[in-house]
Homo-oligomer: A and B are copies of this chain.
Amino acid sequence: MESTAYTKRLLTYRLSLSHLKEVGLTHVFSYLIAGETGFSAALVRKDLSRLKVKGKRRGGYEIDTIMEAINEHFGQQKTNKVVLAGMGNIGSAIAQYKDFKKRNIKIVAAFDLDPAKQRKGYDIPVYPLNKCRDITMEHTIDAAILAVPAFSAQAVCDQLIQCGIRGIMNFAPVNLKVPENVYVSNVRLSDELQQVIYHATKES
């Protein structure tokens, strides 16, 4: 089992590095990444060492080298294909979200039970859910985004898994039950916001 905290930090590093690169830097010091991301410099060095990226004493790390190593860690040679289940508020926003492209992630199909939502105005085709099997047969789908209402989330989730999907980014406020070999990441907007409120309003 691999620490997700570590993996998460890598993504944070990459975000900062892409910013620093845009600003014109080619090399960075551990404390620079630390300043950008909020992690300690020692931890940054430990992480880079674990990533097998070498720096030069007194010269720092090369940004491109780090970024390549991170990309490689996430196996980003090819485009990753995902599907989107649910074209309500959140689903539609996700469908229009441009940032995925930068990561080489493509939403190849969306599903919604409502016929009115099928094939409407997005450049992602929208099908009824029973088309899922066909899509997964046709493409190699790496993950699904689940953006359906809470009451149907488990059922839709089960179907996605039946179609061979092993990774789910879940927006429904539900604790999904899935087999061991399926990975679920819960994006709980209310919980997240509640935590922010909690931390912001408690006397420091």
Contacts and interface: CB of A to CB of B under 8 A. Distances in A.
Interface of A: 4, 7-8, 11-12, 15-16, 19, 36-38, 74-75, 80, 82, 89-90, 92-94, 96-97, 99-100, 102-103, 105, 142-143, 145, 165-169, 173-175, 181-185, 187-202, 204
Contacts of A173: 15, 99
Contacts of A93: 89-90, 92-93
A192 B196 contact: no
Copies in the complex: 2
A115 to B, nearest CB: 21
Contacts of A197: 74, 80, 82, 105, 142-143, 167
Given A99-B190, A142-B201, A189-B97, A196 B175 contact: no
A68 to B, nearest CB: 16
7 contacts: A7-B195, A15-B173, A19-B174, A74-B197, A74-B198, A183-B196, A183-B199
B8 A175 contact: no
Given A11-B191, A166-B201, A201-B142, A97 B89 contact: yes
